[in-house]
């Protein structure tokens, strides 16, 4: 650089120093009143130990503690539907009936077949009656007499035939008559023997099988007839009537929806991070508009909803007056934890690319103080390290401060 350039740079440096010096002289306060005038106005309050509650506020929909839909198991024309919405029903009461004429006839036929099979089974088991034995014996004697007469006539005709007194045809007729009479006598003897000895084992087994089959058919017909009535499976209230008299009902088609509304339940979607604070038996405050009741946790579901990240918790609420209704939306509130410590307003904590900090007031100065943050509760941050009870926390105006700034408490009251 030549001499001219060095002179220009020197002059610029001298001018800059002069400007800085002048500015410094202008910024430097000359009196105590000027210092007070330039101090930044803030508000401050002493830090106190406070108790804070961590609460969970959720919403859910009321439902009956127990609910079911009733329907016929067989088809038919609906004959009776005596209940309407809101009616109370007891377990086992008949809610609806079908026209049962066809099913009654089927049962009557099955009863008749069963009685017939029963009589036949008794007959083969007990054997023939005395009168039947006597009849069989008389039949044998009669067939024997007929056979003996036919035999005598056959021998006589045989002798005449040999002597040429009769034709061959007459002889053959006598012979056939004897053979037929002899066969009838043998069959009568066999029938008499069967009557005396009774039925064979296999005959008894076959007859017994027929009787058992008739019994099953009868039981099936009775069960089908019973299904023409629908009975209440639980005690509760009719929530909906879903069919009309005269309508053709098909199996499985619902006719009533009933539920127990003496107690109601709701399922709350609890965030999985909070689920460890929920236990079966815990009490939960339930609100419906201005009304408030206490419910109890009865079930904690075993899986997390992958879409919402929540775990379902079932809560049961007493509803003896039945003045809360299924389908209404309620709000639920429960205290998860309660602790005592230092909690400061969240707006007083800053973190501008560094560790979180607050400003404390000491000797008229803003002291930048690094803190450690715990839980966030109700717009307050828990401070686990860095502050002590009794410290003066700058609560307003801290966003304009730098560490070491002179400050004045609003109203002039300083600690």
Report pLDDT for 88: 93
Q: What is the pLDDT of residue 30?
A: 43
Contact between 11 and 5 under an 8 Å Cβ cutoff? The reply is: no
Q: How far is CA 266 from CA 18, 281, 301, 319, 327, in A?
A: 79, 15, 13, 13, 10
Q: What is the pLDDT along the chain (415 residues), one digit of tens a residue?
A: 433 333 323 332 332 333 233 333 434 444 444 444 478 888 999 998 887 777 889 999 999 999 999 999 999 999 999 999 999 999 999 999 999 999 999 999 999 988 888 887 776 666 556 666 678 778 888 888 888 998 999 898 888 888 888 888 888 998 899 999 899 888 888 776 766 555 556 666 777 888 888 899 999 999 999 999 999 999 999 999 999 999 999 999 999 999 999 999 999 999 998 899 899 999 999 999 999 999 999 999 999 999 999 999 999 999 999 999 999 999 999 988 777 889 899 999 998 777 899 999 999 999 999 999 987 877 888 899 999 999 999 999 888 888 899 998 885 444 5
Alpha helices in 165-200 (DSSP H): 168-197
Contacts of 249 (CB under 8 A, 6+ apart): 71, 72, 75, 76, 77, 78, 98, 243, 255
Domain residue ranges of the chain, discontinuous segments joined by +: 38-53+337-415, 58-65+261-336, 67-100+229-256, 105-223
What pLDDT shows up at residue 8?
27
Cut 0.75: pTM above it:
no
Q: 58-65+261-336: CATH homologous superfamily?
A: Efflux pump adaptor protein, beta barrel domain (2.40.30.170)
- Look-up: residue for tokens 């061959």? 168
Tokens 């003066």, residue located: 392
* 89/95 Cα distance (integer angstroms): 8
Q: What pLDDT does 127 receive?
A: 54
Condensed to tens digits (0 to 9), the pLDDT of residues 293-341 reads: 999 999 999 999 999 999 999 999 999 999 999 999 999 999 887 778 8
Q: Are 38-53+337-415 and 67-100+229-256 equal in CATH topology?
A: no
CA angle 21, 26, 31 (to 5 degrees): 125
Residue 286's CB is within 10 A of a number of other CB atoms, namely 24
**Fold of the domain built from segment(s) 67-100+229-256:** OB fold (Dihydrolipoamide Acetyltransferase, E2P) (2.40.50)
pLDDT, tens digit, 9 for 90 and up, residues 365-409: 999 999 999 878 778 888 999 999 999 999 998 888 888 999 988
User: How confident is the model at residue 339, as a pLDDT?
Assistant: 75
Helix (H) or strand (E) holding 305: strand 291-305
What's the token pair of residue 98? 């079908």
Judged by phi (left if over 0) then psi (alpha if -120 to 50, else beta), residue 311 lies in beta
CB neighbourhood size of 38 (10 A): 11
Integer Cα distance of 250 and 232 in angstroms = 18
HSE-CB for 275 with a 13 A CA cutoff: 19
Helical spans, DSSP H, in 85-129? 101-126
Q: What is the CATH number of domain 38-53+337-415?
A: 2.40.420.20
DSSP state of 89: E
CA distance 107 to 364: 103
Nearest-angstrom CA–CA distance, 208 and 203: 9
Helices (runs of H) and strands (runs of E) counted in the chain: 6, 20
Write out the two tokens for 340: 């005592």
């Amino acid at each position: 650089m030549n001499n001219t350039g060095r002179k220009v740079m020197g002059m610029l440096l001298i001018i800059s120093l002069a400007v800085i010096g002048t500015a410094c002289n202008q910024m430097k306060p000359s009196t105590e009143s000027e210092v007070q005038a330039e101090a930044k106005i803030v508000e401050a309050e002493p830090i106190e130990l406070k108790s804070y509650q961590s609460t969970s506020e959720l919403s859910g929909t009321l439902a009956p503690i127990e609910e079911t839909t009733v329907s016929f198991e067989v088809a038919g024309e609906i004959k009776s539907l005596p209940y309407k919405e809101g009616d109370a029903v007891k377990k086992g009461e008949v809610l609806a009936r079908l026209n049962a004429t066809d099913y009654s006839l089927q049962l009557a036929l099955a009863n008749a077949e069963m009685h017939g099979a029963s009589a036949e089974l008794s007959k083969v088991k007990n054997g023939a009656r005395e009168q039947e034995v006597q009849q069989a014996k008389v039949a044998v004697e009669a067939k024997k007499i007929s056979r003996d007469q036919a035999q005598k006539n056959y021998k006589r005709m045989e002798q005449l035939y040999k002597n040429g007194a009769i034709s061959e045809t007459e002889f053959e007729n006598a012979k056939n008559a004897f053979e037929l009479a002899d066969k009838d006598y043998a069959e009568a003897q066999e029938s008499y023997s069967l009557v005396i000895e009774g039925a064979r084992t296999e005959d008894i087994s076959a007859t017994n099988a027929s009787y058992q089959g008739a019994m099953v058919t009868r039981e099936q017909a009775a069960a089908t007839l019973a299904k023409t009535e629908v009975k209440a499976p639980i005690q509760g209230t009719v929530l909906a009537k879903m069919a009309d008299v005269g309508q053709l009902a098909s199996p499985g088609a619902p006719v009533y929806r009933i539920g127990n509304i003496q107690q109601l339940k709701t399922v709350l979607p609890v965030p999985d991070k909070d689920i460890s604070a929920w236990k079966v038996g815990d009490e939960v405050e339930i609100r419906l508009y201005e009304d408030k009741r206490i419910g109890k946790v009865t079930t904690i579901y075993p899986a997390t909803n992958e879409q919402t990240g929540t775990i379902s918790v079932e809560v049961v609420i007493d509803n003896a007056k039945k003045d809360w209704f299924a389908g209404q939306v309620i709000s639920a509130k429960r205290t998860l934890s309660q602790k005592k410590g230092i909690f400061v307003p969240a707006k007083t904590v800053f973190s501008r690319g560094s560790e979180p900090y607050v400003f404390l007031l000491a000797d008229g100065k803003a002291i930048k103080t690094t803190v450690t943050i715990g839980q966030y509760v109700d717009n307050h941050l828990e401070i686990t390290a860095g502050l002590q009870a009794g410290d003066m926390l700058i609560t307003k105006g801290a966003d304009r401060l730098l560490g070491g700034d002179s400050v004045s408490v609003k109203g002039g009251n300083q600690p």
